[in-house]
Amino acid sequence: MNECCRPDEKVLMTKATGSSSPPSTPENSVKERHSSARIEGLSLSNFDQLMSPAMKIQDIRVFVATWNVGGKSPSHGLNLEDFLQVEGSSDIYVLGFQEIVPLSAGNVLGSEDNEPAAKWLALISHALNNPYHDSMHSSDSSPNSKHFKFNNTFHKQSLKTLSKKLRAYNHLLKDCNCSWDNPMSNKRKERKYGDPCASPFSDGDPSIDEFLSTTGISLPKRLNYRLIASKQMVGIFVSIWAQRDLVKDIGHLRISCMGRGIMGCLGNKGCISISMTLHQTSFCFVCSHLASGEKEGDELRRNTDVAEILKGTQFARICKSPSRGMPERIINHDRTIWLGDLNYRVALSYEETRFLLEDNDWDSLLEKDQVGSYLFKLL
């Protein structure tokens, strides 16, 4: 029996259906994609109707958040539990950041500074893997309380090692985990996982021990959430975390980056797209930082960024099943979630916008919403 996962309707903001053939243009593909089902906020009824009776449907909660941190590293005492709403205990966390490093010429053109990214990974892991009720009942004076502090001293090599340690079986997640009716498929080497909740720090790596003692972060012996994927492109950084019991059901992990910044190709603007499957459902998470500006023509630059991302992003072919092709384009996935600093505006003055807000005139605001107007043109 095939299993198909269905994201929690309270969390998923848009609906997308699969496509069997690659599109010729982003505009046409979006029109085709929504000819039978338009973008629907929170409604998954059409998706249910497409399900085969032989399929088992599993509900999952996907938490998606984005944050432009303005080129600043994590501050002292920063606590992410409220930001991540850990009390809700989602199954998958998708976290996108923009400007984790200043968008200076040195960072855009020089070697990538991955130290801030590793700091964010440490903070996220600390928040997700320390139960909410434990941190709430812990003493404020305790060194392990929810309001911990970073020490000013960081060791870059230790941070790199930490990010690698937090990953959950990265080489296996990239493999095809399809099962098909083929005599040779039974001879495939089984995906061998260790204890999915065992601590990745049990080997006593001295650089990790030094890092944890320096930051004041204490990670639990057994991890409830494991890092599925993380990727940085200059200031854009995205990470995906999954509950330990879901790790074995995730596969076909692929990552694609596209720079849309200086000269239309550098990474100060652009996107990181991550494709993966959970059971029989394909997901694509697109974390982007689009062109900024409020002048005339800036909106068109953002629209161009979106069109080029849809047109140019392509994922590698790794599926070995002859009857099941993994999507190679963003819009071909069963579920596509786009997050980030999109820089779209409400095309009104501050005074006009405030007046409409105070009057609760949402229809007039939506008419001037640049994101909505562009999507309707595509449809």
Please name which of 265, 375, 327 lies closest in space to residue 34, comparing C-alpha atoms: 375
Q: Determine the Cα–Cα distance for residues 132 and 89; give it in Å rounded to an integer.
A: 9
The residue among 133 and 200 whose pLDDT is bigger is: 200
Q: Is residue 75 part of a domain?
A: yes
Q: Is residue 90 part of a domain?
A: yes
Over range 242-247, report the average pLDDT: 92
The residue among 81 and 177 whose pLDDT is bigger is: 81
Q: What percent of the chain has pLDDT over 70?
A: 61
What's the maximum distance between 2 C-alpha atoms anywhere in the chain?
A: 69
Q: Is the pLDDT score of 376 beyond 80?
A: no
Q: Is residue 54 part of a domain?
A: yes
Q: How far apart are the first and last CA of the chain?
A: 36
Query: Tens of pLDDT along 75-92?
Result: 767 889 889 988 878 999
Q: Pick the range with the lowest mean pLDDT from 97-106, 115-124, 217-226, 353-362.
A: 217-226
Q: Is the pLDDT score of 44 beyond 80?
A: no
Angle at 351 between CA 345 and CA 352, to 5 degrees: 65
**What pLDDT is stored for residue 4 in this prediction?**
66
Count of residues for the chain? 379
Contact 122, 151 (CB under 8 A): no
Q: Is residue 271 part of a domain?
A: yes
225 three-class SS: strand
Predicted TM-score of the model (pTM):
0.74
The sheet with strand 335-341 has its strands ordered as 250-259, 270-278, 281-289, 335-341
147, amino acid identity: H
**What pLDDT is stored for residue 215 in this prediction?**
55
Q: Is the pLDDT score of 180 beyond 60?
A: no
Q: Is residue 350 part of a domain?
A: no
The residue among 374 and 182 whose pLDDT is bigger is: 374
**What pLDDT is stored for residue 183 in this prediction?**
44
Q: Is the pLDDT score of 347 beyond 70?
A: yes
Over range 53-71, report the average pLDDT: 90
Q: Pick the range with the lowest mean pLDDT from 189-203, 243-257, 354-368.
A: 189-203
The residue among 156 and 141 whose pLDDT is bigger is: 156
**What pLDDT is stored for residue 50 in this prediction?**
55
Over range 347-360, report the average pLDDT: 94
Q: Is residue 263 part of a domain?
A: yes
Q: Is residue 63 part of a domain?
A: yes
The total of structural domains in the chain comes to 1
Residue 55 belongs to domain with CATH number: 3.60.10
> What is the span of the domain harbouring residue 56?
3-344
Q: Is residue 115 part of a domain?
A: yes
DSSP 8-class letter at 346:
B
